[in-house]
Amino acid sequence: MSENARHPGRTRLIAPQPIASQGTGVNVEFQQLELLNEHTVMMMGDNPALPKMPQAPKLLDFFRLRFSKLAYRHLLQSAQNALNAGHEEKVVIACLLHDISNGALIRTDHGYWGAQLVAPYVTEEVAWAIRHHQALRYFADESVGYQYPDSYYAFFGRDYVPPEYIQRAHQEARQHRWYMTSRLITVYDEYSFQDDWNVDPESFTDIIGRNFREPREGLGFDGSPSAHMWRTMIWPNNFL
Ligand SMILES: [Fe+2]
Ligand SMILES: [Fe+2]
């Protein structure tokens, strides 16, 4: 039974995530608490404004029903370009998954959040590569033709210097045996969002099947260390 059916006619308030309010000067917590009464409650469960997720959601359900349009295209395009270039499936799956966090969960430190999110379902190498792509993006590697992205000049300004923990992560990654897997994510990490561009997510079904362990209970309901992160994407407006 949906929350709506249980509470017909009630208004449900959506509280912004605390982390999205920090530093903005906008905080509606007290105003919302004052609005609560028998007709007005906080949002819990399915938000009717969002497409309903299946009972046991799989990876591609999140692509179709939860990821922003930008993340959807960016991830499919990265994976398709890596595939077209003839890379191993571990690189293709890493490209397909590398920006789930900033696409649908949280932007800040997205490589680290993203790695944690997928770690129970992919190899250690793929999770490691996703974690480190965040740092490697800031540093060129001429050996594979990777240059500092023009988009980063636009995002951060020409004088931006990455913080020390990012510089350290880059240095550590350079020495690591899995460096090239992470580096290749950055090579295919391009932003191009033409409207006529289209990659069918279903075309990755076999690669996902071989490289991503879909839990029988569905992502979010398998009790894994990151299940709560998938549930947060299913119900992003839950008050608690
Ligand atoms: Fe990224
Ligand atoms: Fe990316």
| 239 Cα–ligand 2 center, Å | 29
Give the three-state DSSP class for 58.
coil
Two structure tokens written together for 199: 């990659």
Two structure tokens written together for 9: 């006619």
**CA–CA separation, 128 and 86 (whole Å):** 21
| 222 Cα–ligand 1 center, Å | 26
**CA–CA separation, 120 and 117 (whole Å):** 8
In single-letter form, the type of residue at position 194 comes to Q
Q: Which ligand is nearest to the CA of 135?
A: 1
Whole-number pLDDT of residue 7: 58
| 15 Cα–ligand 1 center, Å | 27
Two structure tokens written together for 116: 């944690």
pLDDT confidence bin for 197, thresholds 50/70/90: confident
- Roughly how many angstroms between the first and final C-alpha of the chain, as a whole number? 19
Whole-number pLDDT of residue 185: 98
Contacts of 129 (CB under 8 A, 6+ apart): 90, 94, 98, 178, 181, 182, 184, 185
Contact (CB, 8 A) for 118 and 229: no
Q: Using one digit for the tens of pLDDT, what is the confidence trace for 118-136?
A: 999 999 999 999 999 999 9
Contact (CB, 8 A) for 45 and 238: yes
| 134 Cα–ligand 1 center, Å | 5
Least confident of 14-23, 116-125, 164-173, 177-186: 14-23
Name the pTM for this structure.
0.94
Per-residue pLDDT at 2 exceeds 60: no
Contact (CB, 8 A) for 166 and 135: yes
Q: Which ligand is nearest to the CA of 101?
A: 1
| 81 Cα–ligand 1 center, Å | 16
| 98 Cα–ligand 2 center, Å | 6
**CA–CA separation, 90 and 42 (whole Å):** 42
Supply the Cα-derived Rg of the chain in whole angstroms: 20
Q: What is the mean pLDDT of residues 139-155?
A: 96
